[in-house]
Amino acid sequence: MGTKILGTGVYLPEGILTNQDLENLVETSDEWITTRTGIKERRIAKEENVVDMARQASLQAIKEAGVDLQSIEVIIVGTLTPEKRFPSTGCLLQAELGIKRGYAFDISAACSGFLYALELADGLIKSGKARLILVVGTELLSEIVDWSDRSTCVLFGDGAGAVLLGWSEEESDILASRMYSEGSLWDLLYAEKNGCIKMKGRELFKVAVRNMEEACRNVIEKAGVSIKDIDLVIPHQANVRIINSLAEKLGISKDKVFINIDKYGNTSAASIPIALHEALKEGRIKRGDLILFTAMGGGLTWGATLLKY
């Protein structure tokens, strides 16, 4: 008995902001951004708000799963850019989807928001408390980026990803997971109320690699598998150099690591569900593959989840 992934969906705004566009905004260069981060362009929402993006991604996941949306019992949204202080983006999404039952709420865990949400959803399903759960990561980061700060404005983008999870009598897709936080390090990455993203990038870089390695090793051991069994790592897309260092430390070859940061930048809680959807559509994942998710973000928060798809 366990948790199955029934469908995935994404929404990416049409507006593209390239590194060349940023050269006109701040003192930077395509060469600096590409070599230091791996990012070439990012999507920026114009008309859409964070709920609209979540709705589009969710409808795609629900359609793919082929379920009646009124049978969804719980909606969990990971976001650091909620539409309102309250009610939650989850409740606004429930209203937009026209869902009349169950309950909805948000998770505030920055870039780890999707993995935290998945952790809760998996627990609710495995404990028998819910059978159908919509998990969404949606971010309008362009709204909280300081467009005059070259050290952060080049990094972030907008988008949403959704996964519909269901209870099944079969073996669980989610084999093991482990979440962490270290509140004392909150000031490495934060935004004050109504403020912009502030980040100590260099310090965060080292912590990110160390923490995600710890989380990955933990879940691999917990699941009783070995690193060489992993078919694909889908890491949070914060910086290609962080991803490459992590792969090197874990001893995983680059062809087993999914990267799309070049197209979207860091979309925080949306980054893993967007990458999962793309990896599935590109045929990078086959039934039975072992997939390792890992993320790290403001909080600090971090974690890893191991799936057998």
Where in the sequence numbering do the catalytic residues fall? 111, 236, 266
Interface residues with ligand ACO (CB under 6 A) are: 28, 32-33, 36-37, 110-111, 150-151, 154, 189, 201-202, 204-205, 208, 238-239, 242, 266, 268, 296-298
State which residue, 32 or 309, has the beta carbon closest to ligand ACO. 32
d(CA 271, CA 282): 16
Q: State the nearest-atom distance from the C-beta of 296 to ligand ACO, in Å.
A: 6
Q: State the nearest-atom distance from the C-beta of 298 to ligand ACO, in Å.
A: 4
d(CA 259, CA 238): 10
| Residues 187-198 as b or e (16 or more Cβ within 10 Å = b) | ebbbbeeeeebb
Judged on CB neighbours under 10 Å (0-12, 13-18, 19+), 151 is middle
The closest alpha carbon to 67, from 4, 161, 1, belongs to: 4
Residue 205 C-beta-side C-alpha neighbours within 13 Å:
12
State which residue, 32 or 180, has the beta carbon closest to ligand ACO. 32
First to last CA, the chain: 15
User: Which residues does 196 contact at the CB level (< 8 Å), separation at least 6?
Assistant: 144, 145, 146, 149, 152
State which residue, 134 or 204, has the beta carbon closest to ligand ACO. 204
Backbone dihedral angles phi then psi of residue 82, each to the nearest 5 degrees: -60, 150
User: Which residues does 202 contact at the CB level (< 8 Å), separation at least 6?
Assistant: none
User: Which residues does 234 contact at the CB level (< 8 Å), separation at least 6?
Assistant: 258, 272, 275, 276, 279, 291, 292, 293
d(CA 58, CA 92): 13
Are the C-beta atoms of 94 and 88 separated by less than 8 Å? no
d(CA 268, CA 299): 13
Q: Please state, in angstroms and as integers, the Cα–Cα distance from residue 177 to each residue in 20, 142, 302, following that order.
A: 39, 30, 11
Q: State the nearest-atom distance from the C-beta of 2 to ligand ACO, in Å.
A: 29
State which residue, 43 or 308, has the beta carbon closest to ligand ACO. 43
